[in-house]
A and B are shown apart, each in its own frame.
Chain A
Amino acid sequence: MTTTAHRRASGPRPTADGTGGRQAAGRAPLSGVLWLTWRQHRLVLGVLLAGAAATAVWCAVLRGRMAGVIDAHHLAGCSMISLVPHCADTQEAVIAFRAEFGSSLKLIETGLFLLPALIGLFIGAPLVARELETGTHQLVLTQSVGPLRWLTAKLALPAAFVLTAVSGLSAVFAWLWQVGGDEVSGAYWYSTLGFGALGPVPVAHSLLGLVVGVLAGLLLRRTVASMAATLAAMAVVQVAFQQLRPALLPVATSRFGLGTAVQAPDSGWVQGQGYLTRAGARLTGDDMGCTPNGDYASCLRSHDVTGQFLDQHPVSHHWPLAWIESGIVLALALLVTVLVFRVMRRRHG
């Protein structure tokens, strides 16, 4: 009743109601601590849902337009310089495609990539820190609800909204990516932005951002300080996963003869390449000190080189990699949640 009465009818709201409004539906109003949590944070949670819904609509429109261009010029699977036979003479069309859609795609990618940090900053960090800063937690904790129930509601409602908004948006973006990603746009799945924007990865990172923000708020008790700490923590997590990501799954190795050109598909994420000796040892050009202006072939022979290798994550590794990373991130989020509850229990019993 009150929950819907307070919602101002604005453009994307109906969509927001349809996707995330299960808890906030007019017929089953929130009660108890959940009502309070919704009443306090409805603005920011509404903005999140509305933003996600608007972006999802944009993704759908963009997908339609991309599909039209691709069908008209037969661009499916073609990149700027492509060896695929049916892509002959499509270079200009691909360049035109990238000029038309490249920046929009990049914008959505960047948005999804940054969303976890933004959620931590603007939803997670102020969630508890603002209460501790202004002393209003005392108002709630001196009522009949226990501190742990309050904290549960405080985490669960925003988590439900984040889960709904980010997974919905991520799914629509993946649907757009099927058409406009990888070769044709030059935005590959293994790029930092692309990997962070596709599938379960942004969802897991968003939930982590939320709980990291809450933990920072609980420990620092200051909104601005906990926002800064959340940003720093999320940056560290992102950098760490960029280093760690290729090692989450064993690479696929291809072998080539000495004379052949080493060629990987554009969608493969190359991790390394070099020469193989008869004994099976791996050498790179630098290891041997061969220079192209000398007698390169005899230099290679002197090192007993018999072939070449290429390590890569083929496109088939994308989803396994994404799920492994998401699993680790969710485990981290769970750990932080346990910490949050422990801090709360130690402080207020």
Chain B
Amino acid sequence: MAIRPGEAIGRASGRTALETIGLGKRYGRRWALRDCTFRLPAGRICALAGPPGAGTSTLLSLASGLLRPTEGTVRICGESGPAGRARVAHVTQGKPLYPRLTVAETLRLGRELNPGRWNDRCAEQIVRDGGLPLGARAGALPEGQRTVLAFALAFAREPELLLLDDPLDGLDPLDRHRIAALLLARSAERATTVVLSSQALAELDGICDYLLVLGGGRVRLAGEADDVVGMHTLVMGERRGEGLPREIAAHTVIDTQLSGRHFTALVRRKGPLAPGPWEAAEPSLEELLLGYLRAPGAPGLIAPSAEPVSSRRSHRPGGRPGIPGMPRNGRPGTAGVPGGTPHTSYHHHSGKGAAA
């Protein structure tokens, strides 16, 4: 994503792939998702995580139009309704396929049901590269090949936004690796924005450059993966007395694990971490996500790039044209602006703990 001079620099510029405002879905008396407001910039591969029942599947289904929202709105690339729906491909949980249809017939299904937006060559190539026999019934395929077929259906629609609901579930490590490679290669080809939900948090590292964490039906964490990870520190040390050392507790403590005489804490820094008899390290993506999933009460964090354009206007009447000097406004390596530091000003969801 090239930034021309004169164009607003930073996250406020750039296209939006997915935007939800006040989105909610109620089943009977239970809200599966509520007050979900965020923005996903185009071109990212976004990890969507949440404990079971957090509403990740519901969010994806609302985004693809599979479900009707009880309240709120969804926009795909600025469009709502059928026009937006046409730009999305959604591989739902369990990757449902008609078991009696052969691979060739399943591809025909895609062609028949997507008139005018079906890339036959793309579908056939993915199926051929995956080594799928065209005459085999979809129900007889092993899980890895089923996933390849589901991906072929999704990518052949040439979507601008691809929603994948736990696609790596039930795959062996070799297949996971293959599918991840397929996903990265194909989404890079047309700069497809991807939202990938997964229970396997470790798999998301190295695939995703954007984060969205739900908890209790609300957004807990949203922003660039590297920035969000960089704002946090994993502190490990020896326990002295009850609780954490004062210097560490002064920061926003997300999650503390105590084991024997040691503690491990995930903190969101409010400034430089004071040196002491402890070790500090940058958490891995998995450690970060795990920390947030374990601590549903921790204050949330919504990066400015993840705030909807329309709602931000009311949020910050000053209308700052983005934040200068932001790193990575595009794919990693393509548009990295040097000089980005982890000490970036973020608007905090909870309203406290803002970095200096």
**Which A residues form the contact surface with B (CB < 8 A)?**
2, 31-33, 35-36, 39-40, 134-136, 138-146, 346-349
Contact status A134-B96, CB under 8 Å: yes
Contact status A144-B109, CB under 8 Å: no
List 22 A-B pairs, Cβ < 8 Å: A2-B105, A2-B108, A33-B112, A35-B108, A36-B109, A36-B112, A36-B113, A39-B105, A40-B100, A134-B96, A136-B97, A138-B92, A139-B97, A142-B64, A143-B110, A143-B114, A146-B82, A347-B67, A347-B68, A348-B68, A349-B65, A349-B67
B157 at the interface (CB under 8 A from A): yes
Among B93, B98, B113, contact of A144 (Cβ-Cβ < 8 Å): B113
Contact status B66-A348, CB under 8 Å: yes
B23 at the interface (CB under 8 A from A): no
Residues of A within 8 A of B157 (CB): 143-144
Nearest first, the 6 A-B pairs at minimum CB distance are: A143-B113, A135-B96, A349-B68, A142-B90, A138-B92, A144-B114
Residues of A within 8 A of B88 (CB): 142
User: With A39-B101, A40-B98, A141-B66 in contact, do A32 and B115 touch (Cβ < 8 Å)?
Assistant: yes
> Which residue from chain A places its CB closest to the CB of B60 in the assembled complex?
A142
User: With A2-B108, A348-B67, A348-B68 in contact, do A139 and B96 touch (Cβ < 8 Å)?
Assistant: yes
Most buried by A among B66, B88, B110, B157: B66
Contact status B105-A138, CB under 8 Å: no
> Which residue from chain B places its CB closest to the CB of A6 in the assembled complex?
B105
> Which residue from chain B places its CB closest to the CB of A141 in the assembled complex?
B66
B318 to chain A, nearest CB (A): 38
A282 to chain B, nearest CB (A): 56
Contact status A142-B112, CB under 8 Å: no
Residues of B within 8 A of A142 (CB): 64, 66, 88-92
> Which residue from chain B places its CB closest to the CB of A40 in the assembled complex?
B98
User: With A35-B112, A143-B110, A143-B114 in contact, do A136 and B98 touch (Cβ < 8 Å)?
Assistant: yes
Most buried by B among A35, A39, A143: A143
B42 to chain A, nearest CB (A): 20
Most buried by A among B86, B96, B113: B113
* Complex: A2 Cα to B86 Cα, angstroms: 27
B130 at the interface (CB under 8 A from A): no
With an 8 Å Cβ cutoff, the count of chain B residues facing the other chain is 31
* Complex: A343 Cα to B115 Cα, angstroms: 26
Residues 67-101 of chain B: 1 if any A CB is under 8 Å from the residue's CB, otherwise 0?
11000000000000010001011111110111011
B128 at the interface (CB under 8 A from A): no
B117 to chain A, nearest CB (A): 6
* Complex: A36 Cα to B113 Cα, angstroms: 9
* Complex: A134 Cα to B64 Cα, angstroms: 19
A2 to chain B, nearest CB (A): 7
Residues of B within 8 A of A141 (CB): 66
* Complex: A349 Cα to B90 Cα, angstroms: 16
B59 to chain A, nearest CB (A): 15
Residues of A within 8 A of B108 (CB): 2, 35
Residues of A within 8 A of B117 (CB): 144
Most buried by B among A139, A145, A146, A349: A139
Among A32, A138, A346, A349, contact of B96 (Cβ-Cβ < 8 Å): A138
Residues of B within 8 A of A146 (CB): 82
* Complex: A348 Cα to B112 Cα, angstroms: 21
Residues of B within 8 A of A349 (CB): 65, 67-68
Most buried by A among B68, B96, B105: B96
Contact status B98-A33, CB under 8 Å: no
B89 to chain A, nearest CB (A): 7
* Complex: A274 Cα to B43 Cα, angstroms: 88
User: With A142-B66, A144-B157 in contact, do A31 and B96 touch (Cβ < 8 Å)?
Assistant: no
Residues of A within 8 A of B109 (CB): 36, 139, 143
A130 to chain B, nearest CB (A): 10
Among B96, B113, B153, contact of A145 (Cβ-Cβ < 8 Å): B113
* Complex: A144 Cα to B112 Cα, angstroms: 9
Residues of A within 8 A of B89 (CB): 142
> Which residue from chain A places its CB closest to the CB of B98 in the assembled complex?
A136
Residues of B within 8 A of A136 (CB): 96-98
Contact status A135-B92, CB under 8 Å: yes
B151 to chain A, nearest CB (A): 13
User: With A134-B96, A143-B157, A144-B117 in contact, do A32 and B68 touch (Cβ < 8 Å)?
Assistant: no
* Complex: A145 Cα to B86 Cα, angstroms: 9
Most buried by A among B86, B94, B109: B109
> Which residue from chain B places its CB closest to the CB of A135 in the assembled complex?
B96
Residues of A within 8 A of B90 (CB): 138, 142
Residues of B within 8 A of A40 (CB): 98, 100
> Which residue from chain A places its CB closest to the CB of B99 in the assembled complex?
A134
Most buried by B among A2, A135, A138: A138
* Complex: A36 Cα to B92 Cα, angstroms: 19
Within 8 A of A (CB), among B166-204: none
